[in-house]
Amino acid sequence: MAIRPISSSVESTRSGLFTVGKAEPLRQALASCRDLIISVACFSALLNLLYIVPSIYMLQVYDRVVPTRGGTTLLLLTLILAFAIATVGILDFARSRLLVHASARIERTLIESVLSGIFDWNQPNRQRTSALLREFDNLRQILSGIGILAICDIPWMPIYVIICFFLHPALGAFALVCGLVSFEYYLVR
């Protein structure tokens, strides 16, 4: 599903519906959420770093605990893992709340332009009005849904593949092939 700007289904005249002063409302709305989007990107970076912790935990258990039967080491590694998993839960909750807040802020910024377009009785084509409302609703759903989270996590895929290559070249090649097949499947679908 391609993301189109709200004004794509309406004629490209620069009338009062899509301009407030000299700046477009969508651009203004996204600019008002810049701090929230940066926070979401930072939380995503921390989350993706913490997603590596369970793999490191298993490597450490097999490398340090099993050969020496070190109960204390296992206990400390497990506590670190539990802390990391709890942190993942907290950061993921905070990230989703930030996205909901950004969606609400964009709605507050754009609602005047959208409603003025809906209630503009001078428009000859009422289908454009319903298309505007649908696109506005789609924008809100995209910003508060899982699609934006996937966009935040995609840049970390090459890092995970590189880590797999460090662990073993065959594992890295397998991860790379699986990633390419998944990407190809997405393009075809």
DSSP code of 20?
B
pLDDT band of 46, cuts 50, 70, 90: very high
Instruction: Say what the pTM is.
Output: 0.70
Give the rounded distance of the alpha carbon of 32 from its chain centre: 18
Q: Please report, as a single letter, which amino acid is at residue 32.
A: S
Please tell me the predicted confidence (pLDDT) of residue 123.
Answer: 58
Neighbour count for residue 184 (Cβ, 10 Å): 10
Please state, for a pLDDT cut of 70, what percent of the chain lies above it: 81
Q: Dig out the tokens for 183 from the structure.
A: 């990407």
Average pLDDT of span 9-25: 45
- The span from the CA of 69 to the CA of 73, in Å, is 9
Please tell me the predicted confidence (pLDDT) of residue 80.
Answer: 95
Does the pLDDT of residue 52 top 60, yes or no? yes
- The span from the CA of 135 to the CA of 132, in Å, is 5
Give the model confidence (pLDDT) of 83-115 as tens digits.
999 999 999 999 989 988 888 888 888 777 777
DSSP code of 63?
I
- In sequence order, the β-bridge partners of residue 20 are 23
Give the model confidence (pLDDT) of 53-88 as tens digits.
998 999 899 998 888 888 899 999 999 999 999 999
Please tell me the predicted confidence (pLDDT) of residue 128.
Answer: 67
- The span from the CA of 11 to the CA of 14, in Å, is 9
pLDDT band of 7, cuts 50, 70, 90: very low
